[in-house]
Amino acid sequence: MQQAQKGFTLIELMIVVAIIGILAAVAVPAYQNYTLKARFTEVSSASAPYKLAVEVCAQSGDCVNAGAFTAIAVAAGVPNAAAVTAGIPGIATAAATSPFNPAGVTLAVAGAVATLTLAPRAVNGIAVADTFQLVGTLGADGKVNWVRGGGCSTRAAGAIC
């Protein structure tokens, strides 16, 4: 009579370890990129008030002359009165551990194009070079069409915005 096999053979255990190793090699970098995207969300969300300020200013006609933007400045992280009539309360503050850097916000206008750039703080794996940039083009109807870009979309390890 033959005795029944008990347990796993060494080769079976080695195959399981190899499969787990392959899965881990794929999953760890994907998870790291996912966590960077989650952290960077704070920077991309912080662009909303600035974007809204430019849109309101353009649609009200306060900063548009003959189909082109006039001067819109950002001082201390807050657009000036020409860009925002009611102000953006609380936007100029952010925790030092936050990737959003209010001092890193710039808004430049040239003709019918407004370029909003947010340079983050270098924290939690996010580099200062991972800028978040929105380029808005003023349409004939007063609407601003935005296109996203910047260093956050051209990272070697994959885009985080």
Asked if residue 5 belongs to a domain, the reply is no
- CA 154 from centroid of its chain's CA atoms: 12
* 21 found inside a domain: yes
53-98 pLDDT, tens digit per residue, is 888 878 877 777 877 887 776 655 556 544 443 334 445 556 667 7
Boundaries of domain holding 87: 10-153
What is the tens place of the pLDDT at every residue in 120-152? 988 888 888 889 999 999 988 888 999 999 888
Q: Which two tokens stand for residue 19?
A: 């499969």
**DSSP state, 103?**
G
Instruction: Determine, yes or no, domain membership for 159.
Output: no
Looking at the 3D structure of the chain, how many domains does it have?
A: 1
* Verdict on whether the full-model pTM lies above 0.75: no
Phi and psi based region of residue 96 (left: phi greater than 0; alpha: psi -120 to 50; beta: remaining): alpha
84 in any annotated domain: yes
At 113, list the tokens: 């194009």
Chain CA centroid to CA 64, Å: 27
Tell me if 54 is assigned to some domain. yes
Residue 126 falls inside a structural domain: yes
Flag whether 132 is in a domain. yes
